[in-house]
Chains A and B, each alone.
Chain A
Amino acid sequence: MKKKFKKVEPYIWILPSVLLMAVFILVPIVFVFRMALSDVSKAGLIKGFAGLENFRKVTSSSVFAMVLKNTLVWTVAVVGISTLLGFILAILLNNEFKGRKLARAVVVFPWATTLIVQASIWKFIIDTDYGTLNTLLMRLGIIDHAINWTPTAGAYFAWEIACGIFVTIPFVTFTVLSGLQSIDASYYEAAAVDGASYWQKMFQITIPLVRPNLTISTILNIIYVFNSFPIIWTITKGDPANRTDTLVTYLYKLAFYNGKQGQAAAVSVIGFLILLLCASLYMVSVLKKGDE
């Protein structure tokens, strides 16, 4: 009896967690797949099996290619630039200096602030008519008349990317910083004895040793940024004419504004598959790290 209990016991411990994730994550995944393959009414009722019809409709629309391209640009630009800047910032903050604690506290601010508020602030800052960026630059004497910072859809998108970078940097910085702090000082001492230059130390000690941290932050960021909804939703809602839409804002509009739930589900599945690819890369790298 006791032996039998011992065998079941672990499953009792994990049961609440399994139930919670099964009902609120797994079941929605199943629903999304089912709807993507079904003929769905405007009210969201499943009318019958539709095969790949929803996928055909979505991918044949000219907007979709643009949305996909935007998603790629958005993800690569935000993750790439914030990884570079975040890494540099971590190197700076790893130095001993007065007020380092304060600087670290300040740098964490954008991470803690809800994206919806961040996005509103940036929308206000770059406004042509009353935005504070123009006011500030005019007061400082850098410009003499208000500049239209967002003349085109592309300019709007660039600002959205800038906002995304601003909020993503702290995560990179702190992940890298934790790696930097665990590097044994003796490596650098030995290198100094050998007369290694700053850049040699950087490329031969620092970067290889924080690479696992960079990998984790990059892969997690790809997923967070890919899924990021509030920034674009607040600043442009994907307009004008879907020119600033990414996959998630596009599917949101399809589902909740245009009543095309079947097609929205198809877009979800496409996004889901792209993420699954990233997730498996992440898992492989994490598990590999565990083996080392």
Chain B
Amino acid sequence: MAGTNASAKKKNTKNTVLRVLLYVVVILICLFTLYPYFVTVCTALKSRAEIFSINGTIFPIKAIWSNFTDVWKLAPMSSYMLNSIVIAGGSTLLAMLCGIPAAYALSRMKFKGQTAFLGFVIVSQMFAPVVLLIGIYKVMMAFHLTNSIIGLIFINAAFNQAFAIWLLRGTFLSISPEMEQAATIDGCNRVHALLRILLPVAAPGIVTALIFVFINAWNEYTVALTLISTDTFKPLTVGINIFNGYNMIEWQYLFAASLYAIVPVVILFVGIEKNLVGGLTSGGVKG
């Protein structure tokens, strides 16, 4: 009896040690992950002189909040912000308008070429725009969209089709088609069945796809850098580099402006984190 007690005690101590170790490791990882963000915030609040001084500081000696308002005066930040919103919003809308019907067909109908289409969707996911930039540039020239926000919307929507269709198809397949079938028998056509019955039930999956496409388009850099030459047409990701000159980098402004670009999406991302992972992996399993 005493023996089992002692071994139970030993096991308990071992568990406590493991537990403490787990906390320590997780806290260290979190601190490490947050370090770049900590640096960003502190630097955004410093003066230029403090950043470049020989005696570097960790925290700002005195927080200069005006850096956050100065960037709006020094650069067309309001245009950048508006452009980012329009590009991300427009791309999301277009990606959904094309993606929802396609995902619906893939999950509710049987047709010739279905596998081929699905295969192309998967393969298209593999090609980042950067490899095709020269080709994209030629297409944009043909449409006179080289220096235009509309052009960026089309590109972002196209390159996010794969993910949107994949995620939406997975969501639709997980919902039983019985309700829609009942509705169609009652004389409701497919469009109505989709809008009134399926979409409300599929809302969580749709919101996830929506936010994910929005974030991707908001964070896109390479295509915008290549296609847009007029300063006031640039999105935030490209525009903020106005503070990142060849000879001199205005770190305090660059980071203050960067925070405007990253805070909204980090919040959105934390919000969908749970659904997103399920969508990324399960989409491939179902069906």
Would A32 and B128 count as touching, CB distance under 8 A? Answer: no
Q: Which of A20, A23, A35 counts the most B-chain CB atoms under 10 A from its CB?
A: A20
In the complex, chain B residues whose CB is within 8 Å of the CB of A80: none
In the bound complex, what is the Cα–Cα distance between A216 and B98 (angstroms)?
25
Is A68 engaged at the interface, CB distance under 8 Å to the other chain? Answer: no
Give the distance to chain B from A208, nearest Cβ to Cβ, in Å. 16
Is B199 engaged at the interface, CB distance under 8 Å to the other chain? Answer: no
In the bound complex, what is the Cα–Cα distance between A290 and B138 (angstroms)?
38
A111-150: CB near B (< 8 Å → 1, else 0) gives 1111111101110110001101011101100000000000
Is B276 engaged at the interface, CB distance under 8 Å to the other chain? Answer: yes
Chain A contributes a number of interface residues (CB within 8 A of B) equal to 94
Is B61 engaged at the interface, CB distance under 8 Å to the other chain? Answer: no
In the complex, chain A residues whose CB is within 8 Å of the CB of B240: 116-117
The secondary structure that dominates the B interface is helix
Is A76 engaged at the interface, CB distance under 8 Å to the other chain? Answer: no
**Size bracket, chain B contacts:** 35 or more
In the complex, chain B residues whose CB is within 8 Å of the CB of A179: 281
Would B30 and A177 count as touching, CB distance under 8 A? Answer: no
In the complex, chain A residues whose CB is within 8 Å of the CB of B219: 113-115
The secondary structure that dominates the A interface is helix
Is A75 engaged at the interface, CB distance under 8 Å to the other chain? Answer: no
Stretch at the interface among B4-12, B75-83, B251-259: B251-259
In the bound complex, what is the Cα–Cα distance between A236 and B2 (angstroms)?
66
Stretch at the interface among A9-17, A57-65, A189-197, A199-207: A9-17
Name A's B-contacting residues (CB within 8 A).
Answer: 9-11, 13-14, 16-21, 23-25, 27-32, 35, 44, 89, 92-93, 95, 97, 99, 102-118, 120-122, 124-125, 129-130, 132, 134-136, 138-139, 166, 174-175, 177-179, 212-213, 216, 220, 223-224, 227, 229-230, 248, 251-252, 255-256, 261, 264-265, 268, 271-272, 275-276, 278-280, 282-283, 286, 289-290
13 A–B contact pairs at CB < 8 A? Answer: A10-B111, A13-B104, A24-B159, A31-B138, A89-B29, A116-B240, A229-B221, A230-B221, A248-B128, A248-B131, A276-B126, A279-B127, A283-B123
Question: A117-B240, A248-B128 known; 5 other A-B pairs, CB under 8 Å?
Answer: A20-B157, A21-B121, A35-B138, A112-B269, A130-B51
